[in-house]
Structure 1
Amino acid sequence: MASKRIAQETFDAAVRENIEEFDMGPEEAVKEAVEQFESQGVDLSNIVKITPKVSAEGAQEPVHEVLQALGDLQEAVASSCAQAVSTHLSRFCDQCKQDKACRFLAAQKGAYPIILAACKLAMAGDQGLLLQALSALSALISGQPDLLDTQGLQLLVDTLARHSGEATLTCSGLRCVRHACLKHEQNRQGLVKAGVLPLLTNAIVRHGQQPDVVREACLALRIMTFDDDIRVPFGHAHDHAKMIVQENRGLKVLIEATRAFTDNPTVLGDLCGTLSRLAVRNEFCQEIVDLGGLSVLVTLLADCHNHQGRDGGDWASPSVQDLVKQVLSALGAIAGNDDVKDAIVRAGGAESIVAAMTRHLASPQVCEQSCAALCMLALRKPENSQVIMEGGGALAALRAMRAHPQVSSVQKQACMLIRNLVARSQAFSKPILDLGAEALITQARTAHPDCEDVAKAALRDLGCHVELRELWTGQKNDLAP
């Protein structure tokens, strides 16, 4: 994998050299420079690859439009000319959205303090200008959350608080929060300390009819529960989830919001996905049931098959598949509570999950989440295993294994489901083996090293012969290789 990086000036110089020293045309010179650096293991994802103009005097310095827009914006901000700031913000934002290399180059040349100054200028009262400034900030920090400092984080919180009644501004501010927090634990913790969580949940309550606002708020809430910053050994994901639920009524807000979007699978998917991220404690799982969340989830899963969206399109679309996946994820999450497991089965959830997997057999994500949810329902619950078996759950799982032999996650979850079905109900072993389970599990074990343990456990509990190695006997000699 490429790991080396070069500066934009180095790349531009190589292109110029190809033109002047080797008489290459501009396009050929760029292509040759790209091939040259990539052959040396250089990562060029941060490089703007534009074709320079050539005149009688030779190759001209490349003109990077994002830097031109940035320079003009800096002058406009310095002169406090709102109209000029607006024009150049728009140019800069368009350039940043074209390519992440443009964003990287702009950041290298000091774009962040200029955009921050534009935001502060707009905060004086011009909401249209503030919207443009937030859009530019969002575009700049996308994939570059390290750019934000304490001032920037506070500005986002102040903006959301001061303009909480403006849907468009709120949406843009939420997008900035999302970009600032993805893979950045320090920014997450900084924003939480600054009071962003009630602003996120209140945005859903206040703008509960606005799909864009609700989606952005859901995504921001969800990211607050991520533990995706590899630079931080211990994050606050669990603490943030607790704060969202206990201090900001997060579960109630999300469940009530589903009522306004019965014909919008995209927003429903985001709401369900966020709900699953908050089911981190036993009592939270039960609270979701008590608030009517289980009824919502089971109804959504049952309705997805033939429900028509507001635009008249069939719900057999990618957005519906994503909704199904998110509902399944939420059901699997709340099934961590043993009492909720039984409630899901009583509500017909097991049959709906099997039906969803059968309808969306071509989707590995749906198959994976279906098996995972059924696996949770069957865990330590032989009576639930009975319902799953009678509903065709084992057959559906084995069909998923046949449909996606190269997808490790599907194979792994299906093996775990089979194991849980028979662990406390040995009578199910023969019917499952008659469906061809042994060959499929053995195949998964051979093809996917990360399936080794779960496959062996499934084969063992099915009564198949499995060679188990005793790696350590408790004696002082070294561990077996």
Structure 2
Amino acid sequence: MAPAKPSARAISQQAFDEMVKENIDDLGMEPTEALSDAIETLTLQGVDLSGIVTSTLPGETNPVIQSLDRIKQLQSSDWTDETVLEEALDLFDNLTALSRIEGSGNAAIATRNGGIELMCSVCSKLSEFRRDSALASALNALAAFPHDIQSTETFRQSGGPKLVIGTLTDKTQSTNILNSAFSVVAASATGNEVLKESYVELHIDELILKIMKNHTKGNIPSLYDTIRVLLAADDNRVVASQVYGYARRFAKIGITEALVDSLNEGLNSSSLVSITIALKAIAVNDEICRSVAEKGGIDSLLICIDESGIQGNKTVAKSCCSLLSKLAGSDFNKSAIIERKGLNRLITLSSRLGDDPSVIQEVMSIICTLCLRSPDNAAMAMEAGAGELAIQSMKKFPEASQLQKNSCLMIRNLVARNTENRSILLSNGIEKVIRNAKESHKCCKDAGTAALRDLGLENYNL
């Protein structure tokens, strides 16, 4: 792991409250002014205020801490008592809602005040007493707390991974509990390589496959988020992540095939976007990409792309195109996409959703990959309308930098090994729009230069 960065100065809640009180008692400030002054002073001094209650005055009670304190009191109560459970459910749901308020800092307040340790203990007790409805709510609250490396480490040190894996193992029939438990896995493993490893060592891949086989496809949305997180190299402390190996392990036991089966549900699945993202995460090499096509994944994706265009569903269109672009990296899959009239279907999609540059740039990315080192595919792409798509889109969306860049990259692959395409594009004014892109967008400088060079222009570097 990389050397740890120096941590910011810390302060306790008691010290912060005393500082505010001193501003009131010794300096005669109004309470609101005293609070603002303390925050400003400590911030300027480089003090880390995350997890400190800065929204209430001394003597007032923060709702997060109030809920945590009441849950602590209920721990000694009879968890078989319906009145106790009803109150606990309200407290869990309230904590979840408070912690998910963007910018509130409530998740940090909860973790700083023992929320993770408390909810791990509560979840263990609820599982023991088989109080499933309360357990699902408690897991949701626990999933809302992890927000940084310190909070995920607290979860790990509190026995969180074994607790969640035990829940996934014991509660295989309850979709609510499974969905909540997978939410905890996804939240806790985000940005933490050690936790990813812990879950893999506890054979979470086998559990994922078992649960996918035993439940209706798409019925547990957070399961797909879990796959994505476990296979993401997102811990900046780690020089060489192990997630590539995890992806191959997931594929080897059959998770790829199970994901393709889920993909076959198409737009009928509310989890379609999450499924495509999970598949993209697992498709880390040519063998896995090819296996997706062999199991019918290309056919399903193209159908989803057709239907998303007809229904105007831009979110689904982008996610499906993004996955197809990844799969197109395999030469076997290139042929499969071409044989299924993929080029024409992509151009049709871009015309149906032509008002959204983010969709068009994904289409261009796929065509760019399909035409790489393939003059035949480049000729078919031009015949389908890729050249016209590039010119018209670059003119229509001059400020869309990623679209401009993707268009330059696609043009380069259209002409690099196909001289006929060069003359067609040049006669239609492609040079001017590429030069405009180079001038307007820094990210287009290299891509635009390469496109102009492969178009056969001598002054390509200007």
TM-score category of the 2 structures, normalised to the smaller one: 0.7 to 0.9
Q: Where does the alignment leave 5 or more consecutive residues of structure 1 unmatched?
A: 53-59, 307-314, 470-481
2:154 is the counterpart of 1:147: yes
- Match 1:268 to one of 272, 277, 294: 272
Alignment of 1:41-56 (within 5 A): 46-52=51-57
Q: Secondary structure of the equivalent of 2:373?
A: coil
Contact 1:285 1:337 in 2 (8 A): yes
Matched, 1:408 2:368: no
Letter in 1 for 2:438: R
Structure-1 residue corresponding to 2:417: 424
Q: Does 1:134 align with 2:142?
A: no
Match of 2:68 in 1: 70
Compared CA separation, residues 255 and 62, structure 1 to 2 (3 A): same
SS across alignment from 2:172: coil
Q: Do residues 399 (structure 1) and 392 (structure 2) align?
A: yes
Distance change in 2, residues 1:462/1:10 (3 Å)? farther
Q: Name the structure 2 match of 1:478.
A: none
Q: Deviations over 1:85-105 (max 9, x none)?
A: 662464254235324512211
Counterpart CA distance in 2 for 1:455 and 1:67 is 56
Which residue, out of 222, 228, 234, partners 1:216? 222
Out of 109-118 and 142-151, give the one that drifted further: 142-151
Question: TM-score, normalising length from structure 2?
Answer: 0.87
CA root-mean-square deviation = 2.8
Amino acid aligned to 2:95: Q
Q: Deviations over 1:379-426 (max 9, x none)?
A: 011111111111111222333333443443222221110100000002
Residues 272-291 of structure 1 aligned to structure 2 (within 5 Å): 272-291=276-295
Residue 235 (structure 2) pairs with residue 229 (structure 1): yes
Q: Cα distance, 1:451 vs. partner?
A: 2.8
Contact 1:419 1:457 in 2 (8 A): yes
Amino acid at match of 2:61: V
Which residue in the other structure is 2:338 paired with?
A: 345
Q: How many aligned positions are there?
A: 445
Is the CA contact 1:272–1:330 (under 8 Å) kept in the aligned structure 2?
yes
Q: How does 1:50-449 map to 2 (within 5 A)?
A: 50-52=55-57, 60-78=58-76, 81=79, 83=81, 84=84, 87-88=87-88, 90-98=90-98, 99=101, 101-124=105-128, 125-143=130-148, 144-149=151-156, 151-209=159-217, 211-213=218-220, 215-247=221-253, 249-260=254-265, 262-264=267-269, 266-306=270-310, 315-316=311-312, 320-449=313-442
Quote the Cα distance in structure 2 between the aligned partners of 1:443 and 1:348: 32
Q: Deviations over 1:415-444 (max 9, x none)?
A: 110100000002211222233322332233
Shift of 1:38: 6.0
Q: CA offset at residue 297 of structure 1?
A: 0.9
Larger relative contact order, structure 1 or 2 (CA cutoff 8 Å, min sep 6): 2
CA contact (8 A) 2:368 2:413 kept: yes
State the 1:212 CA deviation: 4.5
Amino acid at match of 1:135: N
Deviation at 1:453, TM superposition (A): 2.0
The structure-2 alpha-carbon separation of the partners of 1:325 and 1:107, relative to structure 1 and needing over 3 Å to count, comes to same
Query: Mean Cα displacement is larger for which, 382-391 or 436-445?
Result: 436-445
Letter in 1 for 2:302: V
Asked whether the 8 Å contact 2:88–2:134 carries over to 1, the reply is: no
- Counterpart code for 2:337: I
Report SS of the residue matched to 1:148: helix
Please give the secondary structure, in 2, of the residue aligned with 1:336. Answer: coil
Q: 1:219 to 1:134 in 2, by over 3 A?
A: same
Q: Deviations over 1:354-387 (max 9, x none)?
A: 2222332333331221111111001011111111
Q: Partners of 1:299 and 1:38 in 2: how far apart? A: 54
The two structures have a TM-score, normalised by structure 1, of 0.84
Q: Contact 1:85 / 1:118 at 8 angstroms: preserved in 2?
A: no
TM-superposition CA deviations, 1:60-119 (whole Å, max 9, x none): 423112112212222322456555466246425423532451221121122222211111
Using the TM superposition, give the Cα deviation of residue 274 of structure 1 relative to its aligned residue in structure 2, in angstroms. 1.8
Identical residues among aligned pairs (%)? 26
Between the aligned partners of 1:37 and 1:394, the Cα distance in structure 2 is 58
